[in-house]
Amino acid sequence: MDVAAMRANALPDQLRLKRNRSFAAIAVFLVFLLDQATKWVVTYPLQLEFRREIRLVEFFDLRWVENNGVSLGLLSADGELGRWLLVAMTAGIAIFVAIWLWREKRRDDSFALALVLGGALGNIVDRVRYGYVVDFADLHFGEWRPFLVFNVGDAAITIGVLLLLVRALLMRDGRANKKES
């Protein structure tokens, strides 16, 4: 095959990859923007930090939480050293996700990775600016709280990871079914 024919065959893949990257970049930006905008609203106009709690509906409140750790309160950073170690660790994870996203060819996985990256970037910005992550969404059913207080970035990260896990499990099952037939 000559060079021109190889370029012609590669063009659709390159174009698809470029479109996926553009789509993912927009998704990262929108998640980051929504995360930061909601944190701004609860911090400044609503002054949730001083009000501590705003009851919206029977099962959802706004509640001010300064999260010094990562998910589930793990790796709590009480001092400046811990804070910057968490920033470095989460930035390292964000870089890994960004590289994976850059190389990803599947649009659905690109979207899931964009959710993770956008949420992670929002939380990194909080940790750098304030020394903690602003959490405010409190979903509960009576006194039962199935989730910790979270923010838009946390929700995006969780949804992105779940999408990746579900697709990985379905893909594995799909390969198994193809081998059986």
Catalogue the active-site residues: 135, 154
- Contact between 136 and 67 under an 8 Å Cβ cutoff? The reply is no
Query: CA 134 to CA 65: how far, in whole Å?
Result: 6
- Contact between 50 and 40 under an 8 Å Cβ cutoff? The reply is no
